Amino acid sequence: MTAIEDNHSHPSFFQKTKQRLWKWTKRLFVGLLGLPVLFLVLNLLFPLPDKIEYSTIITDNKGEVIHAFLTKDEKWRMKTELDEISPLLKKTIVEKEDRYFYYHPGVNLVAVIRALGKNIFRMKRTSGASTITMQVAKLLEPSKRTYGAKLVEMFRAFQLEWKYSKDEILQLYLNLVPYGGNIEGVKSASVLYFKKSPDHLSLAEITALSIIPNRPSSLVMGRNNDSIVKERNRWLQYFAHEKVFTQKEITDALNEPPTASRTEVPKLMPQFSYKMKKQGGDIIKSNIDLNTQLKTEKLVEDYIKALYSQNIRNASVMIVDNRTHKVISYVGSADFKDTVDYGQVNGVKAVREPGSTLKPLLYGLCVDAGLLTPKTIITDVAVNYNGYAPENYDKKFNGNVTMEYALEHSLNIPAVKALQQLGTEKMIETLTECNFKSIQKKKKGLGLSLILGGCGTSLEELTSLFAAFANDGVYYKPVFMQGDTVYNKTRILSSAADFMITDILSHVNRPDFPVSWQSTSHLPKIAWKTGTSYGRRDAWSIGYNKNYTVGVWVGNFSGQGIPELSGASIATPLLFKIFNTIDYNSDAEWFTQPKTCETRMVCSETGMVPGEFCTGTVTDYFIPLISSSIVCNNTQEVMVSPDEKISYCRYCAPEVGYKKKLYKIIAPDLQNYFKENGIAFEMIPLHNPNCEKIFKEGAPVITSPTNGTEYYISTKDPEPIALTCETAIDVNKVYWYINNKFYKAADAKSKQFFIPDEGPVKISCTDDKGRNRDIRINVKKVDL
């Protein structure tokens, strides 16, 4: 074999080196291509443990923390939002911890190599080269300081960079960094050490906080302030040397005294805060105006202390901004720490009897239904609805009263009559639309007593309802949290009806005006309604003007009734005090009459459109095409005998020998009231006994009870006896009498009930044409 052949059969050294280099290059290239794939696989196999439990914090409308709750692991770990990381905070932390934070992919390779060299050269670990991202990784997954742990940190750092932006990673760091004890995160430290939010921290405060995580046990705010200041100033000098901040900023920071010490976490508004915590979330931004809240709390506390001698121990208040529908104040009790008087109860949310507070809504609904106007006359006399006989607060009757008077004086009987006319279904439906939860749940069992407090409501529900009166009759669900702009609104009253009710409730000369209110005290311009529950357990007063609606409840959470407790005398003075505090000059703007509400002259005796014989008229509000336009027939011309002892109808009137005279038409129930109270009135004379039309035809036939029958009823549990009759087609109303005493007026076709006394009972039924029928029964009581 020749030399030339030998050179061709064996590769040269250069060729071998080239082949090896190409081989390693391909391996490196494949390896580099495989790293992302490997990272993605590992990322799926070992997901980032970034589920962080934060302390729930409640903030006011300015972002200040008003209440905070520990995490399950007993940490104060309040979440710092991105907008709370001020440029100053960001600049200081990045400069101190990781000046290349915004330039590396989570791991600073230059720093790692430098740290590795130092560790090898000094034969011990002196530098860790941790970036902010790597520190977050370690805070998320704490472990011992080993090289293996450091590799895991690097992997987790890449995961963090893959998932989050740089600002979000910085946010995680500021949320997790320890500040000694059970304090984690810059927000917790800011609140606990400086009583402020992170975005309000000064350069000196930020620098002081930034050094604590390195030595959390030996640098404790309030205990080691001298050491903290020394270390703080060292870093401030470093910042000056690196020209991070101006010399003036550094000088101001160096001169700032170390006044920080650990304080208590804000625990304001506990009942409200527990309620809001149930909404879920790390930061619950409420609409509470802290200044208004603190003033209201002080008023409530002082007011209840003055009532201690009367055994009245608690009060609750809720305030709504009528223009924004935001709840700006919420006082659950007079003193949350009072365990004796159940101060932990949330009185704003507690379900209580509402007394008369629902009457404005009822009358407003009646106005919209065309049943009433402010001057419509309602008879305030004894009534009985299937055994239910309501009474007024003072146990007295007032005869003819206007709807306006009935609402001003909070009369019970006219309200029950109005509800009977309107129908309980309409009232319950409206309250359900206004989120009255207890009424919604128990609506099947509610009846006419609903309007007198025979139901359950809360101060929160009632205050929200009255805010609808301040908003043109439109109900808005109260807004507790910022950002809740999806308003749940429902029109419950027309603008006209709403104005009429507001006009009545704004009158000052009324019986529920507090006697204790000094004439020299400023009287706020508001519309308000009071209420007192059965047994005097609850005193309510709820008022509003253009700006605010304020709901006040006063009483005892134990349910103890107090003889002196009433909405007028106890709750209203506190209502006035609150309005004078939050809106002293409220007279500037008031509600105006809408175009849909017009005025007209009506009969002063009925509130109806004046008829031919009406002599007195008054001005009244009404809604065109809705309010009743029936002409008043309160006075009628009647044909009578010359001695005025016999009346005639057109069928029996003689051709001569009679005269015509005007008579007031007075219903039998009102006649009975007049007789019992010695009020003189002129009755229409008895009808001509020889009239065949009236007395021979069409008298009511009593179908129950049966004439001449003997009835046995139980002594212990007597069952009522039904009253029914059959009448002529032209009859609308009948009047029942028991033993010649008026009992009840009713619709001709309706069934009534009564519990008779023992012995003979005479039952009479008279129709609205004057025709009468009598029967007699005998009642015996037995022990069954």
Beta strands 721-726 and 701-704: pairing type? Answer: antiparallel
Q: Are 434 and 461 in contact (CB under 8 A)?
A: yes
CA–CA dist 97, 138 (Å, integer):
14
Ramachandran category for residue 195: left, alpha or beta (phi over 0 → left; psi -120 to 50 → alpha)? left
CA–CA dist 589, 440 (Å, integer):
36
Give me 596's structure tokens: 């849909």
Q: Is 309 a catalytic residue?
A: no
CA–CA dist 189, 179 (Å, integer):
7
**Running DSSP on this structure, what letter comes out for residue 412?**
H
- Helix, strand or coil for residue 291? helix
How deeply is 330 buried, as exposed, middle or buried, from its count of CB atoms within 10 A (0-12, 13-18, 19+)? buried
CA quadruple 124, 129, 133, 136: dihedral sign: positive
Contacts of 776 (CB under 8 A, 6+ apart): 707, 708, 760, 761, 762, 763
How many residues would you count in the chain? 784
Nearest to 582 by CA among 378, 293, 308: 293
Contacts of 356 (CB under 8 A, 6+ apart): 410, 412, 415, 451, 452, 453, 529, 530, 531, 532, 567
202 residue type, one letter: S
**Running DSSP on this structure, what letter comes out for residue 746?**
E
Q: Are 467 and 476 in contact (CB under 8 A)?
A: yes
Active-site choice (188, 356, 533, 566): 356
Q: Is 97 a catalytic residue?
A: yes
Active-site choice (84, 95, 97, 605): 97
CA–CA dist 336, 320 (Å, integer):
22
Give me 394's structure tokens: 């003072």
- Position of tokens 């074999």? 1
Edge-to-edge strands, sheet with 759-767: 710-714, 772-782, 759-767, 733-738, 741-747
Ramachandran category for residue 106: left, alpha or beta (phi over 0 → left; psi -120 to 50 → alpha)? left
Would you list the DSSP string of 485-534? ----EEE-S-HHHHHHHHHHHT-SSSTTS-TTS-TTS-----EEEEEE-T
Residues catalogued as catalytic: 97, 356
